[in-house]
Amino acid sequence: MPRGKTKKARGRTEAGWRPQRYKDVLRSQGRRRANDFRCVGCRLDVSLDAPGTAHRNHCPNCLASLHVDRRVPGDRASECRGRMEALGLSVRPDGEWLIIHQCLSCGELSANRIAGDDNPLTLMRLALRPLRDSRIASRTLLAL
């Protein structure tokens, strides 16, 4: 090929680069379903279908969540939409485990049921967290 002349880049038109395709193309090919969400912490695609709970709103891998529910689980009525950090675990008298989340935007606390496919190692790390760092326990008690 002579110097000074270059091949046109693949997909390039005379006016410039062609526009990028709409991303729903991936969903129609079965790679991502419309009722999935992407985790704000680890960027994992998470299905809303979860064993043990009817309204999943946290990632089973890193337990991060979004502030989407206001009063009733699954109502999706919160206007905050801030990122929620998992602070610790609580156990009901019947033995059911709850993840305590705190919104990093507005500071609100919420309790969410764990799902059957949540990462057990991440849950154990979260359960042992107050023993490792006493500041987390005192911060949670002061917020109540």
pLDDT value at residue 18: 67
In Å, how far from its chain's centre is CA 119? 13
pLDDT digits (tens, 9 = 90+) for 8-56: 455 555 556 666 655 544 444 455 556 678 888 888 888 877 787 777 8
How distant, in Å, are the alpha carbons of 37, 66, 109, 137, 141 from that of 134? 33, 25, 19, 5, 11
Say if CB 112 and CB 56 are below 8 A apart: no
Q: Where are the domains of the chain?
A: 17-143
E-state strands within 23-141: 37-38, 45-46, 65-66, 83-91, 97-103, 109-113
Phi, psi dihedrals of residue 114, rounded to the nearest 5°: -75, 155
pLDDT value at residue 100: 92
pLDDT value at residue 35: 67
pLDDT value at residue 27: 46
Q: How many CA atoms lie within 13 A of 58 on its CB side?
A: 31
pLDDT digits (tens, 9 = 90+) for 81-123: 889 999 889 999 999 899 999 999 888 898 888 988 999 999 9
Write down the pTM of the prediction: 0.64
Residue 89's DSSP bridge partners are: 99
The answer, yes or no, to whether residue 75 has pLDDT greater than 80, is no
